Every structure is written in C-alpha cells, then in structure tokens.
Chains A and B, each alone.
Chain A
Amino acid sequence: MSEVLAGLVRATPLLLCGLAVSLAFRAGVWNIGAEGQFYAGAVAATWIGTRVAPSVPPVVLVVLVPLAAATAGAVWAGVPAWLRARFGVLEVITTIMLNFIAEHGVAWLVHGPLQEAARTYPQSDAIAPAARLTPLLAGTRLTWAFPAAILLALAAWFLVARTRPGFALRAAGANPEAARVTGRINVTRVTTVAFLASGALAGLAGAAEVSGVTFALYERLSPGYGYTAIAVALLARLDPRWVVPSALFFGSLEAGASALQRSAGIPSVTVYAVEALVVLGVVALDRQVWRARPA
C-alpha cells in the first residue's frame, strides 16, 4: 500500500510536467525547461507560504498559491518564448540554460533571502499550515493536487483535440509553414501562448510539491521531474489523456527505484537510463509521429 501511495505522490508532479511538455511539443515548441519552470513555481509557492500566508485569510491562499506559481512558471518560460519569437533563438538551448540558472538560483535563495529563520540548514522555513494542501487520506502526502491534475489533463485534451485554438496549436506544430499560409493562424502567437501555458503547468507542479509534499524549499527539490516529464509525454504520444497513465507508470518506476536504492543499493540514477530507453523505443517504433519533418 505504501509503495502504491509513494508512486501516486511521485506521479503528481510528473503528470503536471508531462502535460506541460506534451502541450509544448504538440505546438512544435521544444520546451526542455520544465525543470526550471517547476523551480520557479516552487519558489513562488514557498514565498507566499512563508511570507504572505500569515497575513491573508486562508481562503485567499487557495487561489493565490496556484496563481502565483503558474505565473512564475509562465514568466520563466517567457524568457525563451520571447527569445524564440523575437530573435528566432532555438529554445532547446535557452530552456536548458534557464534550468541551470533556476537550480543555482534556488541554491542561492535557500542560503540567502529565503533561508529558514534559524539559519542552520540550507532550506526555507516550513510554509504556514494554512498554505498546505489537505491530504486525500489522513496521514499521507497524497493531496487534492493529484485529482486536480487529472482534471487538468482532461481539460487539456479537450482544448487540444476539440476546440479551434487547439486546432491552431496542432496545425502550428505539425506544419508551421502550411499553418502560416492559410492566413488564419498566427503561428508565432499560437506557439508563444503554448510555451507560456506549458511553463504555467510546470510551475503548478512546483507549487503542488511544496504545498503538498515537502512544505519547504531546498536544493534539489526536484529529482529531475522536468526531464522525466519528457519521457512521460512521449510515451503518451503527446496525448494529454494518456499522460495520466504514463505519469503513473513513471511515478511508480521512480518510487520503486528509490525503494530499490534503499534496500538493494541499486543506484536510482539508473532509472534515467530506463526512461531514455523508453523514449528511444517510442521514437524508433512510432515513426509516423517522430520522423524528422521534411523541410
């Protein structure tokens, strides 16, 4: 039971980050930066949970924390989105650079401005109880963030598959030139919006982790959720509905790997190799989707 729960807890950030990646990739945006956007959201949630929460009514926090985290993630994604739209800078490199900047930035924050009042450990104070998510089951760390993330996945699927903006997004991703010459799709605008939405989703994941699981910010808060999310999204063939089982699979895999490291000494980094092989398998078998686009 506890292993299943650990897998579900682990699946929550993977689900949100996996949605972030699938939305971006669907629009032809190579956002490898979910890791950094996750940290941006985590920082926002920590700041509100430790500095703002004591002075506002709890009901405000229910809206304020996710809103701030989503905004922070979108802003972090906004830098590469702007560089892509304005200068045509390849977002693969810029998003990865921003991941490193976020990691070092969090390290600085927990040694500096956001460090706990006691100044002993490189971590933030625990967030106020009012800013914490309620567990679904008493005594566990599985919170409402998990079913909320599933609802978001269904909403994202509906948006992408069944609406006009979703069609524009798919068209911009599948063949930007063709989308442009229709004259009805502003490709730059569509991809920029998708990029920002992707960052917002990853930011939400950071908030869910801080508000529901760790209650504090520290270095290496993420064991690489933003990178695993790429495998999550690809195994789901970028379909938001399938991101749910895919995240559950990888969440259980990672929770199992952590347990194996404790009990059998098998290093948990090995799980990265497994995830990479899954991606390569998908890429090799699913050539319809993953063939390089002809120019």
Chain B
Amino acid sequence: MPGPPEAAALAAVAAFLEATVRVATPLGFAAIGETIAERTGVINVGLEGAMLAGALGAAIGAAGGSPWTGLAAGAAAGGLVAAVFAVFVVGLRADQIVTGTAMTMLAIGVTGAAYRATFGTTGAALDVPTFGPAAVPGLARLPVIGGALFAQAAPTYLLFLVVPVVWWILMRSQAGLAMRAAGEAPHAAEAAGIGVGRWRAGATVVGGALGGLGGAALVLAQAGTFAERMTAGRGFIAIAIVVLGRWHPLGVAAAALMFGAASALQYAAQAARLHVPYQLILMAPYVVTLLALAGVQGRARAPEFLGKA
C-alpha cells in the first residue's frame, strides 16, 4: 500500500483525469461530427448553434421524460439546425461562413426565446433528470485511469462507441470513400457517379446531430440545467479541435482530450487555491485554442474543397 502522501497525489491525478474525460465529452461529440462534415467539404460554423439547440432540446426532452429522451431530443435539435444550414449551403450554394454565423445567431435567439417561453422569465429552478456516473464493475476500481475511463456518465460511453464507428465509416468503408472524395475532388467524384450534394447534406446533418449530442451531454451529464448561451463557444473550439486532430477521427478524439485536460486544469487550479483571478482562469480554453491553432496550422492539410462549392 502507498503511504498517505502518495495516495493523495494519486487521487488528485485520478480526479484530474476523470474531469478531463468528462469535460472533453461534449467537445468530442461536436468535433467528431464536424470532422464528418468537413471531410465532405462543408465547414459548419453553425456548429455552436447546433450544440446550443441540442442543449435546449435535451433540457426539454429530459424534463418531460428521462435523460435518454433528452439525449434523443438533443440529437434531433442539433440535426434540425444543421439541416437548415444544409438547405442554404448545399441547396442554394450560399456562402458557408456567413450562413453558419447566421445559424449560430438564429440558435441563440430561438433558444433564448423558447427557453423563457417554456420555463418562464426568471429562468430559475429548472432541474432536469441527469445521467449520474455509471461505474463499470471491477474496471472502475483500476488505479489512476479507472475513474476516467470506467466511471463516467452514459454519454461518454456512447462517445467511446461513436469514435471508432466514425473512424471505420470514414476511413475504411465505401461510403467514407465517397464522402472524402466529395471533399477532395468533387468534380471527379461527380463524374464517377457520386452524388456530392447528397453526401454533403447527409454528412452535415449527421454532424449537426452529433453536435446536438454534445450540447445534450453538457446539460445531462454536467450542468443539470439549461442557461442562455451555455455552450460558450464550445462549438467554435470543436472546429479548432478538428484542425488540431488533422481531420482524422482518432486524432480529433485525442485533440478533444487535450482540450478536456486544459479545461480540467481550471478545476485543479481552483482546488489548489491558486491566487489567480477566476476571470483569467475562464479565459484559458480560448487562449489554448489560439496557441494550438498557431502551432499546428501549416503542417495540417485541410480537405481540398473545404468551404468551396
């Protein structure tokens, strides 16, 4: 048995890793969804809006049922936002950046108004049923990593499934080849009989649904409530994570974990009672995003037709 100081240090590391995975979960869902869309050539800056819609959808869905109905409602809301986006950028070939920005504004306005209409102007006292941590018997007791990997809430386990599935579909299946062709060489793909527009629209909607799941995970496994603009830029950070992960599902998952760790440092700093103003600690994830983008870009290559018609 380790002595008390070592045990305390191990417990602190285990708590940090547990927080890392928990905080990375919403980012991971959104970033893996955006990876799918971007591989087909669509950059969805409205991802923040999809996450926000997913968060409100999850709160409403769970308030009337269980956390599971909340999760489903969150995915549907995120997919719906992305579907509207897809109508404009795939159907009308509108500019992706401008449309995506508008979708995020639309989601901020609609969720804010819908929230107040549903739960009253005070906005207080909204408690939705949440997913508690579900420990896997035995494995959760593993030292250091047990809590991080095997004592998480249900959405995290769902993400553990989603990442390899997306990797296999995108990188190993026939469908994935068609999607990547749409992003790299749409004219050649079209000539080869691949319906580029359909793959893009489909990938965008699926990506938005995953973004909605990210927003839902935020509500159902972390906050336990909805608040206006509660996603606080996570959708945009997720887009940076895709760059950082070099558009590869496994790289993106790793990059999401890195951001989870950067955010979990906030809790560690608070626990350690460091005398840093908390406003500056709140700034950390955004600063990390900037630095990370500066560090990685130029060495990572985006899909050739990303953001172009």
Cβ of A88 and Cβ of B298 under 8 Å apart? yes
**Chain A 1-51 interface residues, beta-carbon cutoff 8 Å to B:** 30, 32
Cα-based distance from A108 to B108 in the complex (angstroms): 25
**Chain B 74-95 interface residues, beta-carbon cutoff 8 Å to A:** 88-89, 92-95
Interface residues on B, range: 35 or more
B11 within 8 A of A: no
CB distance from B141 to the nearest CB of A (A): 39
Cβ of B297 and Cβ of A87 under 8 Å apart? yes
CB distance from A43 to the nearest CB of B (A): 14
A135 within 8 A of B: no
Cβ of A83 and Cβ of B98 under 8 Å apart? no
Cβ of A270 and Cβ of B290 under 8 Å apart? no
A294 within 8 A of B: yes
Q: B287 to chain A: which residues have CB within 8 Å?
A: 97, 101
Cβ of B94 and Cβ of A291 under 8 Å apart? yes
Cβ of B95 and Cβ of A290 under 8 Å apart? yes
Look across to chain A and name the residue whose beta carbon is closest to the beta carbon of B117.
Answer: A267
Query: Interface readout for A90-111 with B: 1 if CB under 8 Å, 0 if not?
Result: 1011101110110011011001
CB distance from B304 to the nearest CB of A (A): 8
Cα-based distance from A88 to B290 in the complex (angstroms): 13
CB distance from A46 to the nearest CB of B (A): 16
B53 within 8 A of A: no
Question: Interface-forming stretch among B129-137, B144-152, B277-285?
Answer: B277-285
B305 within 8 A of A: yes
Cα-based distance from A275 to B101 in the complex (angstroms): 11
- Which of A30, A97, A280, A292 has a CB less than 8 Å from the CB of B289? A97
Query: Interface readout for B220-250 with A: 1 if CB under 8 Å, 0 if not?
Result: 0000000010001100110110010000000
Cβ of B239 and Cβ of A93 under 8 Å apart? yes
Cβ of A287 and Cβ of B92 under 8 Å apart? yes
A283 within 8 A of B: yes
Cβ of B94 and Cβ of A284 under 8 Å apart? yes
Cα-based distance from A269 to B117 in the complex (angstroms): 12
B109 within 8 A of A: yes
A274 within 8 A of B: yes
A178 within 8 A of B: no
Cβ of A97 and Cβ of B236 under 8 Å apart? yes
Q: Say whether, besides A105-B283, A292-B308, A92 and B99 are in contact (CB < 8 Å).
A: no
Q: A112 to chain B: which residues have CB within 8 Å?
A: 277
Q: Which secondary structure dominates where chain A touches chain B? A: helix
Cβ of B102 and Cβ of A88 under 8 Å apart? no
Cβ of A267 and Cβ of B99 under 8 Å apart? no
Q: A272 to chain B: which residues have CB within 8 Å?
A: 105-106, 108-109, 112
Cα-based distance from A141 to B22 in the complex (angstroms): 48
Query: Interface readout for A266-295 with B: 1 if CB under 8 Å, 0 if not?
Result: 010111111111011001100100111111
Cβ of B309 and Cβ of A271 under 8 Å apart? no
A62 within 8 A of B: no
Cα-based distance from A280 to B94 in the complex (angstroms): 9
Cα-based distance from A97 to B283 in the complex (angstroms): 9
Cα-based distance from A189 to B15 in the complex (angstroms): 48
A79 within 8 A of B: yes
Look across to chain B and name the residue whose beta carbon is closest to the beta carbon of A234.
Answer: B98
CB distance from B114 to the nearest CB of A (A): 10
Cβ of A100 and Cβ of B94 under 8 Å apart? no
Q: Find the residue from B98, B106, B121, B293 having the highest chain A CB count within 10 A.
A: B98
**Chain B 262-309 interface residues, beta-carbon cutoff 8 Å to A:** 277, 279-280, 282-283, 286-287, 289-290, 293-294, 297-298, 304-305, 307-309
Q: A269 to chain B: which residues have CB within 8 Å?
A: 108-109, 112-113, 228
Q: Say whether, besides A96-B233, A290-B98, A295-B308, A270 and B293 are in contact (CB < 8 Å).
A: no
**Chain A 235-293 interface residues, beta-carbon cutoff 8 Å to B:** 265, 267, 269-277, 279-280, 283-284, 287, 290-293
Q: List 20 A-B contacts (CB under 8 A).
A: A83-B293, A87-B293, A92-B236, A96-B233, A97-B286, A100-B233, A100-B286, A101-B286, A265-B121, A270-B112, A272-B105, A279-B101, A279-B105, A283-B102, A284-B92, A284-B94, A287-B94, A292-B89, A292-B309, A295-B309
Beyond contacts A231-B105, A276-B105, A287-B94: 4 other A-B pairs, Cβ-Cβ < 8 A, are A93-B289, A273-B109, A279-B105, A283-B102
**Which 5 residue pairs across A and B have the least CB separation, nearest first?**
A273-B109, A272-B109, A269-B112, A276-B106, A108-B279
